[in-house]
Structure 1
Amino acid sequence: MLTILTAAVGATEYRRQQRVCTQISVAIEHEGAESFVGEREIRGLLQQREKSIIGLPLNALELKQLEHRVLSNPYVERVNIYYDLEGKVHVAVQQSRPVARLIHSKLPDAYVSTTGKLLPLSGRHTARVMLVGGELVPKLIKGNWTQDSISIQLLSLAKYIEQDDFWRAQIAQMDINQQGEVVLHPQVGRQTIKFGKPDQISEKFDKLKLFYQQILPRKGWNHYTKVNLTYENQIVCD
């Protein structure tokens, strides 16, 4: 019995070693008309030593190296590559998702993703996200959004706006000065909104919502030109 079992295990291992890659299956999260990366681009990166992996023995595939190649596409946030018993290689891709677009007259525009990753613009798709301008943009375009304290706060602010249907539709742009203070520009209405430092985010937006729900209906959308949210428990309108 031991001899038979040993022979069976050996045969199974031999067949495993002889299996080759027969097919590549690419699954891209949220792939569609608004995708920054498509299956064609991913397949183009799936080469090992400049050759297609189809036909190569599965045990010769350098999966981590292939994942690094796919991650070289800036719009790929995460990737997981594995193969099954039939020889099919599966590639599961999670795209980077922009929350804001950094704009500056002297620098190329760039996106920042939900994880703080800076992304170049894409010829494949233009994301409809909030614009970020102002004096601090050159530093933001070249900086690290996951380590700098102001950038971390600004990313939290951008994500808060992006995750709320009303604010995502209403806030068109935020400008940031050298001190990291924020001014918001709405889609509807001619007010500039002084947000101040990107802190106490939910509290400040609660006050701004009160302005839209209770003050503007009485005074009219174009009655005020400035709204200041920086004072505690107050809304100052001019």
Structure 2
Amino acid sequence: MFKRLRLKKGVKVVMAALVLVSVIGFTENKQSGDTCKDIVIRIDNQYDNYFISESDVLSLMTAAGAHVVKGASFRDLNLKEIEERVKSDRFIKKAEIYKDLKGNMLVNIDLRRPFARIVQSNGPDAYIATDGAILPVSDKFSARVVLITGKYAGQLVKNDLMATDEGKKIYGMLRFINNDKFWKAQIAQIDIDKKLNMTLYPQVTKQYVEFGQPYDLEEKFKKLTIFYKQILPKKGWNTYERVNLMYEGQIIAE
């Protein structure tokens, strides 16, 4: 009887010790999870656009050091507010911020990718992103993209392209070129006048292309393909100075 009582008492002591260890471990884990131990920034940059670095993201998160994030309690941190500060940079398309079980703050960033650059004679340059957003130029990095010039260029910097009917037409033209490897490599500059008539300037050959307004894109580029692949090889690459695609069913070369 005495041994049985001692055995039960020993079991109770062991159970109490296990409970105490569990409580201590839970408390430590809870405390570590309540505090931002570290900030892990992941930038999805598959196109090698180096406009935004990890230090830039950290500066946005802390409002250039005005707010403490690392070491602060998650109870005092508004993750949505921090996300909005990060997304205030036009080069950042998407930002997701959350904490893991170890008490780290995870920051996932998707960048916008420029595919055209607006060049102005009486104002600052700007980029056009693949989603139509207008982005500022940067001292850190310069993207090699098609140049947009002409009297209409100044209108393009006022709104994102998808905000206006004219912008949507220009966006469609840029997207068509960007999605075709040949035209993306061939076209260096697009000059746009006030009526949205476009003149294309190639990378290699000397002739310019009077494209007209950005409609019937497939038909016009089909004619331009015939000019480059069938006419120029026979007549000579520098024979013509001007190509006109504005008339239906015709290619005018002079």
Name the TM-score, length of structure 1 as normaliser. 0.88
Counterpart CA distance in 2 for 1:32 and 1:88 is 28
State the 1:66 CA deviation.
Answer: 0.6
State the 1:35 CA deviation.
Answer: 1.0
Counterpart amino acid of residue 50 in structure 1: A
Identity %: 37
1:216 corresponds to: 232
Question: Pairwise mapping of residues 74-153 of structure 1 onto structure 2 (< 5 A)?
Answer: 74-153=90-169
Counterpart CA distance in 2 for 1:52 and 1:165 is 46
1:24 pairs with one of 19, 39, 55: 39
Runs of 4+ in 1 over 4 A off after TM superposition: none
On the 8 A contact 1:21/1:53 being kept in 2, the answer is yes
On the 8 A contact 1:17/1:58 being kept in 2, the answer is no
Counterpart CA distance in 2 for 1:121 and 1:30 is 18
1:45 corresponds to: 60
Counterpart CA distance in 2 for 1:32 and 1:139 is 28
State the 1:33 CA deviation.
Answer: 5.9
State the 1:181 CA deviation.
Answer: 0.9
Number of residue pairs the alignment of both structures matches: 228
For structure 1, which runs of at least 5 residues remain unmatched after alignment? 1-7
The structure whose residues are more often helix, as a share, is: 2
On the 8 A contact 2:49/2:113 being kept in 1, the answer is no
3-state SS of the aligned residue for 1:52? coil
Counterpart amino acid of residue 143 in structure 1: N
2:216 corresponds to: 200
1:225 corresponds to: 241
Deviations 1:98-119 (A, max 9, x none): 1111112111111111112111
2:180 corresponds to: 164
State the 1:229 CA deviation.
Answer: 1.4
3-state SS of the aligned residue for 2:238? coil
On the 8 A contact 1:17/1:57 being kept in 2, the answer is no
Distance verdict in 2 for CA 1:161–1:18, change over 3 Å: closer
2:11 corresponds to: none
1:57 corresponds to: 73
For structure 2, which runs of at least 5 residues remain unmatched after alignment? 1-22
Name the TM-score, length of structure 2 as normaliser. 0.83
On the 8 A contact 1:111/1:118 being kept in 2, the answer is yes
Deviations 1:8-40 (A, max 9, x none): 9xx79x938962111111111117864110001
1:173 corresponds to: 189
